[in-house]
Amino acid sequence: MTAASSPVQTRYEAVIGIEIHCQLKTVSKMFCGCSTQIEGAAPNSHCCPVCLGLPGTLPTINKSAVEWVIATGFAIDGEVATTTRWDRKNYFYPDIPKGYQISQYQLPLVANGKLTFDTSDGPFTVRVRRAHLEEDTGRLIHEDQGGRKVSLIDFDRSGMPLMEIVTEPDIRTGEQARRYAEELRLLMRTIGASDAEMENGQMRVEANVSIRPVGQEEFGTRVEVKNMNSMRSVERAIAFEIVRQAGVIDGGGKITMETRGWDDGGQCTYHMRPKEEENDYRYFPEPDLPPLLTTPEWLAEIRSRLPELPTSRRARYQGEFGLSEYDTAVLVNEPAATALFEGALAAGAGVPAKLLANWVTGEYMRLAKGEGAIADRAVPAELAALVKLVADGAISGTNAKEVFAEHFTSGKPVAAIIESRGFRQISDSGALGAAIEQVVAANPGAVADYRSGKDAAAGFLVGQVMRATRGQANAGIVHTALRERLDKSE
């Protein structure tokens, strides 16, 4: 085998750093009072002189945006700065009316964090170099209006609060990159800093990818990869880029510093533009804003508001409740499932956690995520009440599923649904006895089979009783009562 024909991964090591921009969940924009609710609004309906960069205006700092970055800093075990400041990032493009973005360059709010997550090769930790605040740009829309090419600008996104999170170049594979982005998205949703939907740009992932021969210290030339619009495309784009770069080097070529986009249709990266050098931005301190100081009291208050984080929750579910790795992953990775499970546990004294977990990972997830998913009106206390009835044998599992499905869409109390459907389980021997007598009389053949030693006949007869009671009998009790009846001599 020639060197070039052995797998890329055994000859080259990829070095990958990830930059993620998250739109923070604030009521107003980063430096003005404009609303952040721009989804579906008419273009340029949510902007003011500040976010349009008109002369004579001054920015003011959005406190809750700052707090979300600090909360993120605590959640990734980072250092939160006591003094930080704002810098101007200068460049000229039609989507930034000021000719600069207000950002943080030399003194980011957060530095030296880390994030640990599971991969198919076991747990992996990525160091986070920094997390800082900045404002978003406007949006350029290129259109063809009856053969005339026009460019339109929507400034509604201009000034939206963004957190930029930059890793050290610790990542080696596309899978690690995807898992890092997934874990960060979960963290954002758990602490409430961002909805982090990739599809609508609330979370944008960019990767710097280079390769070097295995064993070499020096980094190769890095290529920036953009336009990855889903977690799957993050993994695929990086995997593609590693193989592409190896092909260029194996063919005697050189990697050029450039920005490439991911083409999801073609499943490949393509050249977008040569990469600008960092010093092109001519950063300098923002003269219109004071330095930002964080007091110990303020930081302590933000830290005290943090909910339980995914890592500790996973350990608790497996350790305390004995849940499987799979159930734990489903419960922790979906904040709505986490809330339902935690709420039901808190509400339903005595309901086994494992049984509750089964209902959330099974029935709830099927309804919430299934095809034609419907609005989720599930109430934690109602789920707890239903599961308690199942555990006590007061309702059959099949009927309970129907009850939950109706509760999920209507939000109606479980007790009312059971009442209206007549789903109270028959477990008193009187009503059951009548059904058993009826089945015994109607199936003399099966009764004779059972009595001659064919035990399988009992299963058939139990099924008949369940049918006769429309599933409302307690199967365990039916079993016992039926055998007692059959074993009785005539």
- Which residues contact Zn ion by CB under 5 A? 32, 34, 48, 50-51
- CB nearer Zn ion, residue 51 or residue 181: 51
Q: Shortest approach of Zn ion to residue 390 CB, angstroms?
A: 53
Q: Shortest approach of Zn ion to residue 411 CB, angstroms?
A: 38
Q: Please, what is the Cα angle at 430 between 426 and 432, to 5 degrees?
A: 45
Q: Shortest approach of Zn ion to residue 171 CB, angstroms?
A: 37
d(CA 204, CA 282) in angstroms, rounded, equals 24
- CB nearer Zn ion, residue 48 or residue 292: 48
d(CA 484, CA 490) in angstroms, rounded, equals 12
- CB nearer Zn ion, residue 100 or residue 105: 100
Q: Shortest approach of Zn ion to residue 131 CB, angstroms?
A: 24
Alpha-helical segments (H) within 79-209: 174-191
User: CA-CA-CA-CA torsion for 216, 218, 221, 227, nearest 10 degrees?
Assistant: 80
Q: Shortest approach of Zn ion to residue 32 CB, angstroms?
A: 3
CB count within 10 Å of CB 281 equals 17
- CB nearer Zn ion, residue 17 or residue 97: 97
- CB nearer Zn ion, residue 6 or residue 45: 45
- CB nearer Zn ion, residue 60 or residue 116: 60
- CB nearer Zn ion, residue 84 or residue 158: 158
Dihedral (CA of 372, 375, 381, 385) sign: negative
Write the burial class of residue 26 (CB in 10 Å: 0-12 exposed, 13-18 middle, 19+ buried): buried
- CB nearer Zn ion, residue 8 or residue 50: 50
d(CA 301, CA 141) in angstroms, rounded, equals 42
Q: Shortest approach of Zn ion to residue 357 CB, angstroms?
A: 46
d(CA 42, CA 152) in angstroms, rounded, equals 13
Q: Which phi and psi angles does 239 have, rounded to 5°?
A: -60, -40
List Cα–Cα distances, 290 to 83, 158, 446, in angstroms.
Answer: 11, 21, 88
Query: Are the beta carbons of 158 and 94 closer than 8 angstroms?
Result: no
Q: Which amino acid is at 220?
A: G
DSSP state of 453: T
Q: Shortest approach of Zn ion to residue 67 CB, angstroms?
A: 20
Q: Shortest approach of Zn ion to residue 46 CB, angstroms?
A: 7
DSSP state of 278: G
- CB nearer Zn ion, residue 50 or residue 188: 50
Q: Which amino acid is at 186?
A: L
Q: Shortest approach of Zn ion to residue 52 CB, angstroms?
A: 7
Q: 65 pairs with which residues across the strands?
A: none
